[in-house]
Amino acid sequence: MPLIDSGLSNHELTHKAVETNIINSVKQLQSQSPIIKRAIKNNKLEVIGANYSLKSGAVDFLT
């Protein structure tokens, strides 16, 4: 299965790449930092991925 759908428009492809990057960044923060992992486990921290639109000012929360 290809990682990228070649049928996507440039806009859709960019949007998908940004979303994937946000999700991967959140997962990396949650799994690779002992300090962050401990804070999450102790309900002291929540890592949330979001995408801010410069055009509209809207924030889309992804995680």
Residue 51 resides in a domain = yes
> What is the structure's pLDDT at 13?
87
pLDDT band at 3 (very low <50, low <70, confident <90, very high): low
> What is the structure's pLDDT at 49?
97
CA–CA dist 52, 38 (Å, integer): 28
Residue 16 resides in a domain = yes
Q: For 6-51, how does the pLDDT look when each residue is reduced to its tens digit (9 = 90+)?
A: 678 888 888 888 999 999 999 999 999 999 999 999 999 999 999 9
* 23 φ/ψ sector (left φ>0, alpha ψ -120 to 50, else beta): alpha
Residue 2 resides in a domain = no
CA–CA dist 14, 56 (Å, integer): 17
Report the Cα 36 to chain-centroid distance in Å: 16
Residue 47 resides in a domain = yes
Residue 40 resides in a domain = yes
Residue 5 resides in a domain = no
Number of domains in the chain: 1
List the structure tokens of 54.
């410069």
The boundaries of the domain holding residue 35 are: 10-61
Indicate if the pLDDT at residue 1 is higher than 60.
no
pTM assigned to the model: 0.78
Residue 29 resides in a domain = yes
Residue 43 resides in a domain = yes
